[in-house]
Structure 1
């Protein structure tokens, strides 16, 4: 159920199924979503941990001079507290949330926006992602991508979305960039 955003998560929970029951009162659904988001905002970092080797790899990449950004479909207001809770906020040039622009992943616009903001070509960027939306967004704008085999990909093999590379260990990014 996780990985498609809070609204769908709550709708699925209320439906007690991965299929959303549209007969549930929309006002009730909105109240449930508001309760969930309020709770989530107050508890963002309690059980949030980075996957193995992510923090050390990000620090190494930053030290080597790479510019790091985040494009997530998570609401913008939640991103900074999570990054600060993980102790990695300062590693990123900036970040976009799913509500930062009109379009979100899997559309190409968020990645194109990042390139424009940094004044770099898509060919000088790399999307590293754990979901089909990450890879599809990169594919849609012609950006290279690396898919990781863990995370929020709905139980699907990330390779079916055609990333340039697939890794099991986040630290492998460093050797792929050489």
Structure 2
């Protein structure tokens, strides 16, 4: 296997890449649905909706509630969606690291990469307010030089803006960066930014194989990053 060359900055997705956050996201979604008097869903079902930020997750939950409720309106209004998002965020804010876990080898691998001199950053579609509490909750404080959420800029992945912004903010070229994630959004954003990427097969990608989107490398575990960059 060829290895990435001349990389100094590693850009990581968060949900589905570093953290399996689906259990806490699912719990908050179901709390929201209960509050709204709607049917709840199994965690595995909600897991398949994760990956495009909080609002999209809520919209997917509401859409599926419509399909299962013949008495419901054909469509939720923007005001109703906004209200549901606020309810979801309230519940999730209180329970960020209850059942969520780091994927195997994440902390030791990140620390080893940082020790080798790589600069690390997070680029996620999760609202920015949740990044630091989660990073702190899992003992990862001080590891990441930059943390961008889905609402940090005017665009989010799969738009290339967050990746290009990170390159500029860290004063490196696009060629010195590599995007690492579990979702097509990560790979598509990297391609749009003309940046190399690594796809991880274990996260959230809506039931599709990450290899379909042709990342430059495809890994089955987070720990495989270490030999790739050593």
Are 1:139 and 2:191 matched, yes or no?
yes
Asked if structure 2 preserves the Cα contact closer than 8 Å seen for 1:106 and 1:133, the reply is yes
What is the CA-CA distance between 1:17 and the residue it aligns to? 5.5
What is the CA-CA distance between 1:15 and the residue it aligns to? 2.8
- The separation in 2 between residues aligned to 1:111 and 1:8, in whole angstroms, is 21
Asked if structure 1 preserves the Cα contact closer than 8 Å seen for 2:123 and 2:162, the reply is yes
C-alpha change, 1:22 and 1:103, in structure 2 (3 Å) is farther
Counterpart position of 1:168 = 220
Gaps of 5+ in 2: 1-48, 68-72
Are 1:35 and 2:87 matched, yes or no?
yes
What is the CA-CA distance between 1:18 and the residue it aligns to? 9.4
Are 1:101 and 2:149 matched, yes or no?
no
Counterpart position of 2:179 = 127
C-alpha change, 1:112 and 1:85, in structure 2 (3 Å) is same
- The separation in 1 between residues aligned to 2:55 and 2:61, in whole angstroms, is 10
Asked if structure 2 preserves the Cα contact closer than 8 Å seen for 1:130 and 1:147, the reply is yes
* TM-score using structure 1 length: 0.93
Counterpart position of 2:63 = 15
Aligned residue runs from structure 1 range 47-86, under 5 A = 47-86=99-138
Asked if structure 1 preserves the Cα contact closer than 8 Å seen for 2:114 and 2:143, the reply is yes
* TM-score using structure 2 length: 0.73
- The separation in 1 between residues aligned to 2:130 and 2:137, in whole angstroms, is 11
| 4+ long deviations beyond 3 Å | none
Counterpart position of 2:53 = 5
Q: Deviations over 1:116-137 (max 9, x none)?
A: 1111111111111010001111
- The separation in 2 between residues aligned to 1:159 and 1:61, in whole angstroms, is 24
Number of aligned residue pairs: give it.
177
- The separation in 2 between residues aligned to 1:82 and 1:141, in whole angstroms, is 27
C-alpha change, 1:18 and 1:28, in structure 2 (3 Å) is closer
C-alpha change, 1:18 and 1:121, in structure 2 (3 Å) is farther
- The separation in 2 between residues aligned to 1:66 and 1:169, in whole angstroms, is 19
If you compute each CA radius of gyration, which structure gives the higher value, 1 or 2?
Answer: 2
